[in-house]
Chains A and B, each alone.
Chain A
């Protein structure tokens, strides 16, 4: 490693930090309003277009939602100003750990290891959703 290379790398690091600070200051992320049942249903339908979507449960903070499709749980949750979607067997929801105002669920996926769900007062985990109609 030459001094010039180290200097270039250091300058690049500084440039990255300045650009990230500028991007954060500009507040130009997409608006990501809290999900309600209707918007969650639309989002889930877009992510799982071949599934019949039954009842939908929305987390207390509107940052995540779960729909039941027969014996599957269709999950969406916010990451930054976007959303991540995964499906699991419905019975796997019971493996989620609820503690205080939050439930954490391991998704068993390297690309998205766990999802968190804000629980409202008196909310139970897993969500109690009746089985949906067939596909």
Chain B
């Protein structure tokens, strides 16, 4: 127990917690949107995240030829390089998500089988992705070259708030709100919401179910990919099993906010990020996950549908 840390480093903990929380928000979109539409836990989403981190690293290492000794870029070059990494990561993750849907879910859905069968086949795809990458990279971790010069914007005592955490917060917030607008305002977004309310009725209304589901996977996957890019900007490292723990945390975030609910994912992700940061500071890093799950159980005890509930049909994906 170390409460003095909280007092002396409140602002850095808060900002870092928010940055981590925003990464969780973007990943949990991949879980919550798919859950909203299919009522299935998208088990492969953690691997979609992992694929995204590798896309980022490979583009900046092999395509641009940056390495650990490269000086941080500036100006237009920085903008272009990071943009390319982001686009690559979103594209690769999004396409992987669509393929996962085709391979693991579509046939089973057409047969109308029980949900556990789809869960197992998603787990299978997740194993394939993880093992495939493990074999390709020989289990060696890859580090992401530092493109952005990481200076502290503000300092509190001896701890500073770096520019990359701020970048994460701003960028993820923009992405989240654009997805939110997209789902609530566009025609395709309306179709996604309709499918999540009732698959049968939306089919009768002439909605192309398969296309809507593919679109959901594409959006969820590309958001997960964007999260992977942001994660690489901050943590600069990836490995074939990077997705597991962070995917678990993001899924917890989705449940915490009320799975299937877009805004729920937002608040759930942020509260989870903050909770992890403060719990790690107070109790020590090793008890972080335990605290998170205890809080989750408590929340579910009193609010069995998560903090913001599933029943909010309007905000629901």
Do A and B originate from a single complex? no
